[in-house]
Amino acid sequence: MNEQLSKTEIGKDALQESVEALATTVGEVATIVTTAVKDVASALGGLATEVFEIGDIARRAARAGAPESAAGDAEDTDIAE
């Protein structure tokens, strides 16, 4: 059984392997990018939550007339509501 592959079949196999490798790489890169976007969105969401909480605490402290040692100088602080 001496089977020889034609040049056309060899070319087809090479092209098929190349396309499969390309598809795998594109999938891996897409996964990396998707994960990165998700992680950045999560980090920014966490930061926004912290900023809102800090603003809320500052407003409550200003309304309660918190002592300077706990809330700083509430009279000199310009807090937008």
- Looking at residue 9, the DSSP 8-state letter turns out to be H
The CA distance from 27 to 36, in Å, is: 14
Query: Which tens digits make up the pLDDT trace of 47-60?
Result: 999 999 999 999 99
End-to-end CA distance of the chain: 86
Give the pLDDT of residue 4. Answer: 83
Q: Taking 90 as the threshold, does the pLDDT of residue 78 lie above it? A: no
Question: Domain ranges in the chain?
Answer: 30-64
Q: Residue 3: its pLDDT value, please?
A: 74
In angstroms, the CA 28 to CA 23 distance is 9
User: Is residue 42 over pLDDT 80?
Assistant: yes
pTM, two decimal places: 0.58
Instruction: Note the pLDDT of residue 65.
Output: 85
Round the average pLDDT of the chain to a whole number and report it: 87
